Structure 1
Amino acid sequence: MSSDEHEVGRRSFVAGTGALLGASSLGGVAAATHEDANGTESENHGNEHWSGGHSEPEIIAHRGFAGVYPENTLGAFGRATWGDDADMIELDIIPSADGEVMVIHDPDLSSRDEGTRGLTDLDGYVWEYTADELREADVLQSGESVPTLGEVFDLIPDSVGVNIEFKNPDTTDTYTSQKLSEERLSQQMEVWRPMAEKALDIAGNYENDVLVSSFAEAAIAVVRDIDPDVPVAYLFWDSIETGLEITREYDCEAIHPPYNMVKGTPFFGDEYYLSGPFADVDLVKVAHEEGRAVNVWTIGTWYQAEQLTAAGVDGLIADYPNLLWSGNDEMEWDDPDSGDGEATETGTETSTEAEAETATGTETETETTTGTANGTEIETGTTAPASTGTGTDGGN
């Protein structure tokens, strides 16, 4: 499929970028140049403003703020955008049996809580059900169902960016968080291609800025092959070196590391999905020098948000709204004698229930998870990458 069949184009979706670059039509951005880590000048495809330096990162609603709303549902995305003013939403896609692009995280529909409770009331894999059947599923006993990608775009404002994570292409024979051989990469690209083409076609019908991310090299590669102008971000897992290698090969506009990969914060190398030691690399500095944005996952406390903001990240992929706050925020309390007793905030932001949970920087996400040795989560139904096929990644 030729690139001019898609309308998505490389716009300034990536977190912290400010105003739209170039014309308002999709794909009208001229290329710029930047120097890579070796001092070599290369094309930057119009992302010269994607190098950080912003006073405050963008807030990306992880699965529609999964800490407070049923994840990846229309109810969550509606509240996150129309109510909580998320700058962007992050969602996951997997195809249905009849080829519709569904918004859902877990390929295995009954993979939560060690199989005692599923993400939905269905068993089996997403791609074993039609879109209509998935629309009737009950997500986390919330009364919300599994939406299509088009339904999400129909719901949210045009001004809200959409980070589409390519989660699974309809098979457990996938490879994540590793550099693939040429032969295997070619084979895997064809596995991802049908969903990628459909997802980009859908996104091209809307005005929202779009960023594609994935833990799978083949997913990034096939998006670049279908339309080189679509912004992409590689999701880091257990290796900074591997993440940077893949990022540079595809000239990704952004990197998406877990928050414990950000050097200069109290969390660097801490146990999260995986613990360090990681390579002694300042990812924020390196990414910004190369003209890339840094969006970190998954943020659950104000303390994490505060420390990562100080480290210079461009986007916070967060489970909760309103995690950014300022110690200079002030509250005007009504006179208690008035019987009113209500408080109004004169600052611009408020804390959330997540802040009340902890000020220590320990992750307290409310996604349904399995074992926690120290309060950190590992999602069920996911496995760390291996040299053989893995069903899904365990991360974002």
Structure 2
Amino acid sequence: MASPAVIAHRGYAGIAPENTIGAAVRAADRAETAMLEIDVQPAACDTPVVIHDERLEGTRDGRPLTDAAGRVWETDLETVRAARVLGTDETVPTLAALLEAVPETVGVNVELKNPGTADLRFADALAPDDRDDRRAVWAPFVDRVVEICDDFAGEILFSSFYEGAIAALREVGPDYAAAPLVWDDLEAGFEIADRYDCEAIHPPRNAIAGTGLTSTGYAGFDAGDRDIDVIERAHDEGRAVNVWTIETWTQFDQLARAGVDGIVVDYPGLGDRSTDRGR
């Protein structure tokens, strides 16, 4: 069995200022990195920028995320681009600048984080009457993101916690691979994956049956056995399973043994001690 693909979470956020060009370039230089994972949302001018939090003044372990403040989508692009990340000289990049900086030999998982509004439906499988409305909310932003990604010759995989984002992607960029991110409802995740014929599904680490990771609550899931075997069901449907987010080699090893296809990690080197490596 081949080792799972290593997906660098925000450019290995455990060792570098997340979602920055410097982190992305250094992550791409590592032979183990199959794909980068980044988050995108718009600045006030609608330009897609690479940042996770809704607000510029979020924190990481008590340290300010940036030296700026305000909602990202209400802040002018000059201010967003000048914001220094986690006390370093790295700044918040535009999506276009980051994709220009990384080689086309590494894939990029673009998480559609926010289209520029607080009016969102997080991790919901939408009722039929809501789908057109939610797709319309996301479509202008997703169209801009797709236009930028069209200039990148490497592999692009889109993911999102929002069904509206995936619906919009299927409308404006139907040739791109897509994956729903799962929060607290595996059945809803599979429903969305089925509805939009998604190539992958992205569950949290403790959603994988048969691993010790189910004994810990995480990402909306309580500790306990899982009613759905994510890997069996996804593989039967022809979908890849990419799991998030891993911090230790023992977590990596359990997921590798379970047979996942990709693992989103905060640190490089976690797969080096996996007993499944090269099996």
The answer to whether the superposition gives a TM-score over 0.5 is yes
* Conservation of the 8 A alpha-carbon contact between 1:284 and 1:313: yes
Per the normalisation by structure 2, the TM-score is 0.94
Distance of 1:300 and 1:79 partners within structure 2: 18
2:76 to 123, 130, 133: 130
Distance 2:257 2:87 in 1: 38
Aligned to 1:316: 263
Distance across 1 between alignment mates of 2:25 and 2:231:
31
Instruction: Return the match for 2:191 from 245, 257, 265.
Output: 245
For 1:300-346, what per-residue CA distance to the aligned partner results, in whole angstroms no more than 9, with x for missing partners?
10001111000000001000111112478xxxxxxxxxxxxxxxxxx
What is the distance in 1 between the residues matched to 2:274 and 2:76? 50
CA distance in 1, matches of 2:185, 2:210: 17
The gaps in structure 1 that reach 5 residues or longer are 1-53, 329-346, 349-396
Task: Please tell me whether Structure 1 or Structure 2 has the larger radius of gyration of its CA atoms.
Answer: 1
Aligned residues: 277
Q: Does 1:173 align with 2:128?
A: no
- Please identify runs of 4+ aligned residues in structure 1 that moved more than 4 A: none
Are the equivalent residues in 2 in contact too, given 1:239–1:278 (CA < 8 A)? Answer: no
Q: Which runs of 5+ in 2 are unaligned?
A: none
Deviation at 1:278, TM superposition (A): 6.2
Q: Is the aligned partner of 1:302 residue 2:249?
A: yes
- What letter matches 2:244 in structure 1? W
| Contact 1:84-1:321 within 8 A present in 2 as well | no
Instruction: Provide the secondary structure at the position in 2 that maps to 1:233.
Output: strand
**Aligned-CA RMSD value:** 2.0
How far apart are 1:261 and its partner, in Å? 0.2
User: Aligned pair in 2 of structure 1 residues 278, 97: CA closer, same or farther (>3 Å)?
Assistant: farther
Encode CA deviations 1:74-121: one digit per residue, 9 max, x unaligned.
Answer: 11001101246411000000101111110000011123269x753211
1:227 corresponds to which of 167, 173, 192: 173
Q: Is the 2:249–2:274 contact (alpha carbons within 8 Å) kept by the matching residues of 1?
A: no
1:102 maps onto 2:49 in alignment? yes
The structure 1 residue matched to 2:227, chosen from 280, 283, 299, is 280
Q: CA–CA distance in 1 between the matches of 2:132 and 2:50?
A: 26
Separation in 1, partners of 2:187, 2:166: 17
How many Å apart are 1:227 and its aligned residue?
Answer: 2.6
> Counterpart of 2:18?
71
1:88 is the counterpart of 2:47: no
**Pairing partner for 1:216 from 162, 165, 168:** 162
1:54-86, Cα deviation, whole Å (9 max, x unpaired): 411100000000000000001100110124641
Alpha-carbon distance in 2 for matches of 1:228, 1:151: 24
